[in-house]
C-alpha cells in the first residue's frame, strides 16, 4: 500500500522513518550532478539516521560499492560531494541500521 502516492510503500516509509501520509517526505535522491571530477548528491533524510551512498557500473550483475564514508543526517536533507571514480556510474543511497 502507498497511502500518499509517492511511489514508496508504507512499509518502506515506516522502515525509513518517513511519513506515509506526506508525499514530500519520501526517502530518495533530490539531486545528482557531475561537476569538475566530483559528484554532488542530495537526498531526503531523517535526522539522526545513518546513510551510505553506493555506486555501481551497471544496474544488473554488478557489485555496489560504498562511495565515501557513511553519513549521519543532521537535518532532513543531506548534501555530499564525492570524488567521481568513473564517467558512467549508477548511484543509490542505503539506510543503515540504527
pLDDT for 58 beyond 90:
yes
pLDDT of residue 97 exceeding 80? yes
| Span 6-45, pLDDT tens digits | 878 888 878 777 888 888 777 788 999 988 889 999 998 8
Cell (9 digits) for 14: 515506516
Rounded to whole angstroms, the Cα distance separating 55 from 93 reads 9
Give one DSSP letter per residue of 18-78, joined into a string: --TT-TTS---EEEEEEETTEEEEEEE--TT-EEEEEEES-SSSS--EE-S--EE-SSSEE
Amino acid at each position: 500500500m502507498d497511502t500518499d502516492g509517492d511511489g514508496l510503500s508504507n512499509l518502506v516509509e515506516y522502515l525509513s522513518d518517513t511519513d506515509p501520509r506526506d508525499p514530500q517526505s519520501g526517502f530518495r535522491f533530490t539531486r545528482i550532478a557531475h561537476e569538475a571530477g566530483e559528484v554532488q548528491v542530495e537526498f531526503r533524510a531523517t535526522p539522526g539516521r545513518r546513510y551510505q551512498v553506493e555506486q555501481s557500473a551497471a544496474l544488473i550483475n554488478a557489485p555496489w560499492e560504498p562511495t565515501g564514508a557513511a553519513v549521519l543526517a543532521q537535518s532532513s536533507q543531506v548534501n555530499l560531494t564525492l570524488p567521481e571514480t568513473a564517467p558512467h556510474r549508477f548511484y543509490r543511497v542505503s539506510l543503515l541500521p540504527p
